[in-house]
Amino acid sequence: ANSKAVPKLESKEMVKMSAYVKSIANGEKTSIDVKANKHMVEMMKLGQQVFEERRGGRGLSCNNCHSMDIVGQRLRMQPLPDLGAKETAAASTWPAYRMTQSQMVTLDKRMQQCMKNALLAELPLGSKEMVGLEVYVTNKSKGNPISVPSVKR
């Protein structure tokens, strides 16, 4: 019997594994079939709902900072990225090395950090809502080449 415990989603081991596995696909286009089955359709719908839902102390949503009419403006000296654009496609460029934290960060952990900064309740890693949000954001990156690990501010 294997006595080693399975690493937690937020563990350094899982971050390293995620970066390694995704890096194997470098150069390939991000591809996700959100109509593949009932579960994917449900996750895409839930993800869009989470992305657009206003919540928290400021009544903000992900869409407040990542809608096309806001993209490119600055927040704390950092341009707000288009999550589907080639250079900033979230699902194609994460996990990434965050210079401000001096460490590798996964997409879901980055989304948690964003929620925290916006005073939103952080969605737990692996929760149905976080998985839905990842599916929705990954679909925005569809067709963009994978480039992992990338370097982010």
| Positions marked catalytic | 114
- Backbone φ and ψ for 70, nearest 5 degrees, come out as -110, -30
77: left (phi over 0), alpha (psi -120 to 50) or beta: left
- CA dist 55 and 101 (Å) reads 26
The DSSP code sequence of 41-100 is HHHHHHHHHHHH--BTTTTB-HHHHHSTTTTT-EETTEEPP-TTSTTT-HHHH-SEEETT
- CA dist 2 and 85 (Å) reads 43
- Backbone φ and ψ for 147, nearest 5 degrees, come out as -140, 90
